[in-house]
């Protein structure tokens, strides 16, 4: 490729840039972002060839990757729309897909044919350009969620891009994506965050935290993720998240009943435990 533009140089955008540079996937990789300090840091860390705050620079890009938090994607699309050429493909790395695709259609109209949504299942509780790393996408699932206006060849180009980062691409509808990730990702985040909020309210929270050990550490790791990013994800995937939360509360009430009753408790625990033991990442 001649030019790749990455908007947002946090963990995901930064790691994409880093790998594009190392693998020489594009003659030029330009980074854009709201935060000038982060941009400068990204340049220092050699995550991109150049940084810019002028969207004129994207007019001849082969690929624009929007790697901002999901709620900013709409604003970014409005900002870059005047500078998009007909041959520029656009993708994102957002953890929700249906709302994003709807925004894209509203904002870009017929030109939304050049936008193909992506969600790399790769991340960490860390963020910012300092968190960028090599091989972040290696063997990781990359969900690609085409919509009706996308052409086969555009979809293939986006797939090929992720395959060059050693990702394992999977095609799925935005709706199916959002339901699945509500359950396996957004719900656990909501649960870990709520657990930490509960601890936060306790008068003896310092004592509690002193006695927390490795089970607590792993269970709550995802609660340390970026509050801004997760607020946006929850709001963007609100319907599926609320449905899963309700279903989970029912599950907790079933646990409560099993604990009161005692006779069914073993089976309840065993069912969950067995499924986890047999799961391989």
The interface with its own copies within residues 226-245 (CB under 8 A) comprises 226-228, 230-231, 234-235, 238, 241-242, 245
Integer angstrom CA distances of residue 164 from 158, 169, 248, 280: 10, 11, 38, 25
Q: How far is the CB of 220 from its own copies (least distance, A)?
A: 5
* Closer Cβ to its own copies, 131 or 199, answer by number: 199
Furthest C-alpha separation in the chain: 68
- Minimum Å gap between C-beta 203 and its own copies is 12
Of 151 and 259, nearer to its own copies (C-beta) is 259
Tell me which residues in 195-214 interact with its own copies (CB under 8 A): 195-200, 202, 204-205, 207-209, 211-214
Does residue 189 touch its own copies according to CB under 8 A?
yes
Of residues 86-105, those binding its own copies (CB under 8 A): none
- Smallest distance from its own copies to CB 57, Å: 32
Our finding on whether 249 is near its own copies (CB under 8 A) is yes
Q: Does 265 bind its own copies (CB under 8 A)?
A: yes
* Euclidean distance between CA atoms 158 and 167, whole angstroms: 11
- Considering beta carbons, is residue 62 or 232 the nearer one to its own copies? 232
Does 75 participate in binding its own copies (rule CB under 8 A)?
no
Q: Which of 42, 108, 190, 240 binds its own copies (CB under 8 A)?
A: 190
Smallest gap from Cβ 101 to its own copies, in A, equals: 19
Least CB distance to its own copies at residue 95 (A): 11
Regarding 142 and contact with its own copies (CB under 8 A), the answer is no
Residue 236 Cβ, how far from its own copies at the closest point, in Å?
11
In angstroms, what is the minimal distance from the CB of 242 to its own copies? Answer: 6
Q: Kindly tell me which of 75 and 252 has the beta carbon lying closer to its own copies.
A: 252
Q: Which is nearer to its own copies, 83 or 195 (CB)?
A: 195
Q: Which of 157, 193, 203, 240 binds its own copies (CB under 8 A)?
A: 193
Restricted to residues 156-185, the positions that interact with its own copies (CB under 8 A) are 180-181, 183-185
Helix (H, G, I), strand (E, B) or coil at 147: coil
219 near its own copies, rule: CB under 8 A: yes
Q: Is there binding between residue 122 and its own copies (CB under 8 A)?
A: yes
> What's the rounded Cα separation, in Å, for the pair 154 and 117?
11
> What are the respective helix, strand and coil percentages of the chain, to the nearest 5?
60, 10, 30
């Amino acid at each position: 490729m001649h030019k790749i533009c990455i908007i947002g140089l946090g963990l995901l955008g930064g790691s994409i840039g880093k790998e594009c540079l190392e693998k020489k996937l594009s003659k030029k990789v330009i980074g854009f972002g709201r935060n000038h300090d982060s941009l400068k840091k990204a340049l220092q860390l050699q995550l991109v060839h150049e940084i810019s705050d002028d969207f004129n620079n994207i007019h001849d890009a082969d690929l624009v990757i929007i790697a901002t938090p999901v709620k900013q994607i709409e604003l970014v699309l409005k900002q870059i729309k005047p500078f998009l050429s007909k041959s520029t493909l656009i993708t994102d790395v957002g953890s929700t897909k249906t709302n994003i695709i709807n925004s894209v259609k509203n904002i870009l109209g017929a030109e939304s044919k050049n936008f193909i949504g992506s969600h790399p299942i790769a991340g960490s509780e860390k963020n910012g350009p300092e968190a960028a790393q090599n091989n972040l996408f290696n063997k990781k699932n990359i969900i690609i969620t085409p919509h009706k206006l996308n052409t086969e060849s555009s979809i293939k180009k986006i797939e090929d891009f992720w395959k060059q980062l050693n990702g394992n691409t999977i095609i799925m509808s935005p709706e199916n994506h959002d339901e699945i990730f509500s359950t396996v990702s957004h719900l656990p985040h909501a649960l870990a965050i709520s657990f930490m909020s509960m601890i936060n309210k306790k008068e003896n929270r310092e004592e509690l935290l002193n006695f927390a050990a490795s089970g607590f550490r792993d269970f709550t790791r995802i609660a340390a993720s970026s509050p801004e990013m997760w607020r946006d994800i929850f709001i963007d995937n609100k319907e599926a998240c609320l449905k899963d939360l309700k279903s989970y509360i029912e599950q907790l009430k079933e646990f409560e009943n099993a604990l009161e009753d005692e006779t069914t408790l073993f089976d309840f625990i065993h069912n969950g435990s067995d499924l986890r033991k047999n799961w391989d990442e």
